[in-house]
Structure 1
């Protein structure tokens, strides 16, 4: 009789014992391992993440055909997963390039500056300095708006020319400086128009003198000097002011809209 009761008790406790063992397995090995222990499908989890060399190849392939958004994702993955790899330096630079060609100029400028700070002796430094200047140059808008983009571009192009006078970007930098200075001269001339329309002749005279002194090579200088002479002779134009001011000073005037996309020849270097 006693043996029968003992046997019955053992059988009734068996499910509880099995449950305790299962919970213990969960704690010891983790859910994932237990799941795989009871998975009889024969399938194993595969790491689908790409190796760094393949990420570089895919990023460069997309970059070469103008797929800058997806290219940026590949380079960002390299920086996230392989930040200390030799390929990370290239990924930093190409991520900045992708931002630039996506026309995200402020973000690109930040990335170029970070690259310059981290790799000051990198052989791509002339290109990086050129691109920093271009990020500002590309933000030049209309002559009736903020001039900081042109001013910063002139400063940064000048730094490039002084640091690397023999670089392949020197001639282009000089041309961009000239274009940015032309923009600033036209901005000054646009302000003169405002002063004439509001009958502030003294202020207009000061601006015209500034154009002549600061931008002697600008295309607007001859017209500015002619207008200055009339004001000083007491014959400031009162009507038909549009004949004195070219269309480029109108609000819809846009500078350098026909720029071709720059070919970043040195970005392939590390």
Structure 2
């Protein structure tokens, strides 16, 4: 029984080593490697195709087949989910073949590769900012692209991620009672993200942070800071008087008025 298993194993090794792919891969025929890589690429055998392409890419630089080969090479990384290399190789393709019929697709997939590299909002957003830059550049360069709707959706998603990052940073300052940085962060958010879904939270958070700063200040600074918090309340209700945070904002205002010895209406 052991002999039969060993024989079968040896036969399998011989079969694999003598397979057409292995012969081409181990051989010196560059043309055969290109043709085999192309055939494997067409049927979605990207890993095997890539191994052959890696052998022949240097040999085809400057030749008529190079344009198609380099697009396949770039797209193979894309299909395999290696988005760092896909983005880089598609960028090279754009630069090398700016008049290619495939350059628009290459530009889109390069930008989409950077989108795929964008991490969750709580992490560093350097790749997200790079992806936004690439996607916006793509839209600018190809305003009539059939991918415009999808690209705009990707841009909106990434902007939302940056907004979420910024609002959470501001809220974290407030949670740890670091009020001055919290006020500055909420202020910056309002300026930087005028159309954000989190803008309401920024207006409320700024008021709350200023109020907390005031009531935790030395006596000589309390009144001045309460008045400023009241101004932030007015800014909040100007835009969000019907929001779900209005009741909480009114409670803060009532306490501000009591501390200032005023009896102004809360709405």
Shorter-chain-normalised TM-score: which range? 0.5 to 0.7
**Post-superposition CA distance 1:76-129 (Å, at most 9, x none):** 344244334322211111111111232322222221222122112222222222
Matching of residue 176 in structure 1 with residue 154 in structure 2: yes
8 A contact 1:92–1:115 mirrored in 2: yes
Change (3 A) 1:235 1:124: same
- What is the aligned partner in structure 2 of residue 31 from structure 1? none
What is the correspondence of 1:196-211 to structure 2 with a 5 Å cutoff? 196-211=174-189
Q: Which of 151, 158, 165 does residue 143 from structure 2 map onto?
A: 165
Q: Which residue of 1 aligns with 2:234?
A: none
Equivalent residue, structure 2, for 1:232: 210
Is contact 2:118-2:131 (8 Å) kept?
no
Q: Name the counterpart of 1:222.
A: 200
- Looking at structure 1, the residues matched to 203 and 86 of structure 2 have their Cα atoms a distance apart, in angstroms, of 40
- Whole-angstrom distance in 1 between the partners of 2:81 and 2:27: 32
Q: Whose relative contact order is higher, 1 or 2, with alpha carbons under 8 Å and at least 6 apart? A: 1
Shift of 1:60: 4.3
List structure 1 segments (4+ residues) > 6 angstroms apart after TM superposition.
none
Deviations 1:176-199, CA, capped at 9 Å, x for gaps: 111111010011122123312321
Equivalent residues of 2:57, 2:69 under 8 A apart: yes
The residue that corresponds to 1:101 in the other structure is 79
Asked if 2 retains the 8 angstrom alpha-carbon contact of 1:78 and 1:91, the reply is no
Q: 1:195–1:203: 8 Å Cα contact kept in structure 2?
A: yes
Question: Match for residue 89 of structure 2?
Answer: 111
Distance in structure 2 (CA, Å) of the matches to 1:135 and 1:222 = 33
Deviates more, 1:55-64 or 1:153-162: 55-64
1:1-270 pair list within 5 angstroms: 52=31, 55=33, 58-234=36-212
Q: 1:186 to 1:89 in 2, by over 3 A?
A: same
- Which structure is larger by alpha-carbon Rg, 1 or 2? 1
**Which protein is richer in helix relative to its size?**
2
Contact 1:93 1:115 in 2 (8 A): yes
Give RMSD over aligned pairs: 2.8
Structure 1: runs of 5 or more not aligned:
1-45, 237-243, 245-270
Output the CA distance in 2 between the equivalents of 1:211 and 1:234: 19
Partner Cα distance (1:197, 1:220) in 2: 17
* Equivalent-residue separation in structure 2 for 1:64 and 1:235 (angstroms): 64
CA contact (8 A) 2:75 2:86 kept: yes
Query: More displaced, 200-209 or 81-90?
Result: 81-90
